[in-house]
Structure 1
Amino acid sequence: MTASEPGRLGPAYTAPGSSSFSEFLGAHAPDLLPSRRSLPPHPVDAPHGTTIVTLTYADGLVMAGDRRATMGNLIANRDMEKVFAADEFSVLGIAGTAGLAIELVKLFQVELEHYEKIEGTLMSLEGKANRLATMIRGNLGMAMQGLSVVPVFGGFDLDTAIGRIFSYDVTGGCYEEHDHHCIGSGSLFARGSLKKLWRPGLDAGAATAVAIEALYDAADDDSATGGPDITRRIWPTVAVVDSEGVRFTDDDAIAGIVEGVLAGRRGNPGGAR
């Protein structure tokens, strides 16, 4: 078999090797990796994703993201998706340079699928977190040019039957967070909200309401964070992960929760308890 035969896979695809798709790509087509591309000579202005919040609850984890992408002082996109299913039991939220972040998500999804096909089993949640850290570290050169990608990763740990959260820095440092975490430009305000609203033993519905209220607080003080857009019917993206896997909350349910949050703040816009 040769690579030149039409309709046939080349020898590289049938040779035994690593279960890492990124390593395979780096060996046989390194120019396709985001980290191997030539850097721009000057910093570029590109759309940036902003605020993601995630929190654990009694049976798993909730992750929610606003829908706004900004470019300088402009709104580049009003309905961008920033929360993705990494695989059946984990989710990924992105902040930073939007194009690179989405490309990283797609590569990470393929990485996990490739591992599962080669090894015949799911990678552990901690293994997934560490694999993502390696991919972020590979983007350090672009991060130094201002094109940074800083995700938050979480999922349901099948070994311990709990939801777990992992945060990162631009150098690929991976840190486990407890109870809740936020990233993006509105994270300072969302974190303050979560500190007041989160409590042990929440169910999925209550945790979703807490996440949406935290995003609302972030949007109240951070212009780069988009709050629920009632006029356009643009709602935050909310993923719930538990022993049954990842599922995304539908817009009608989110709309009902948003209406409840707004009703509770009429005459009390700061949300004081």
Structure 2
Amino acid sequence: MLRKLSVIAAAAGLLVAGAAGPALANGGALEAKDVHWSFEGPFGKFDQAQLQRGFKVYREVCSACHSLKLVAFRNLGDKGAPFYSEKYPNSNDNPWVKAIAKDYEVNDIDSETGDAIKRPATSADHFPSPFANEAAARASNGGALPPDMSLLAKAREAGPDYIYSLVTGYAEPPKGLTVPTGGHYNPYFPGDLTSAWHGDHKSVPKGGFIAMAPPLKADLVTFDDGTKSTLDQQAKDVSAFLMWAAEPKLEERKQTGFAVLIYLVLLSGLLYASYKTVWRNESH
């Protein structure tokens, strides 16, 4: 079933290099949409249900083209992760993590023969790449190289807002814009459309051409918790999941920072009190 969905979304993923163009540095994309996230702010936390839905979108759609090579299966069971459970403080013992890992195969070497083999993944393994190498990845995507998604949400300026805007932002190209073969117009994708624009040179449209076809659509993924699978919901959920993948210790970092601030406030008060005590009887 997963493979069937992957085939349906063969070009699935985010931020593939633009098919039209070398001149992406000029920029000209629309500003990313402002989306409210549960993990925003000093006390924000990941919504575990949302992370689970986002992981399902990644697994059934995005993983057909995009790797997640810096994430190990056991990370899915860490504190703050999609499948964390207090019953399993050691994520390697988490049954959900083990079940997910077994759905994948990873490359290995037969210890007896030395031959290259495939084996079911364990919680200690990292997510395997969908392609054997870069050449195979480009050959399957019209020459474009699908980026690894491990740090995608931190690598883009607007982070999850950008990812959400991109996957929901595909639009019909304006009249006068020539879209190259294999390209798709997206006003949120950075590019330079000057050479493809045949209208007033002062009104060149925003955006660029992206090799990836629209990866998401309503009801493409069925959510286990009964949440309605709209395009908007899928986009939000996978963007949140990719934010977690890029910064899995976000909650821990915020808690540590808050504790440090409290410590500094108390230390400042103690130092001030000490100063007043030491210099109480001294003239200034």
- Structure whose residues are more often strand by fraction: 1
Q: Whose radius of gyration is greater, 1 or 2?
A: 2
TM-score, normalised via structure 1 length: 0.24
What TM-score results when the alignment is normalised by the length of structure 2? Answer: 0.23
- Relative CO higher for 1 or 2, CA cutoff 8 Å, sep ≥ 6? 2
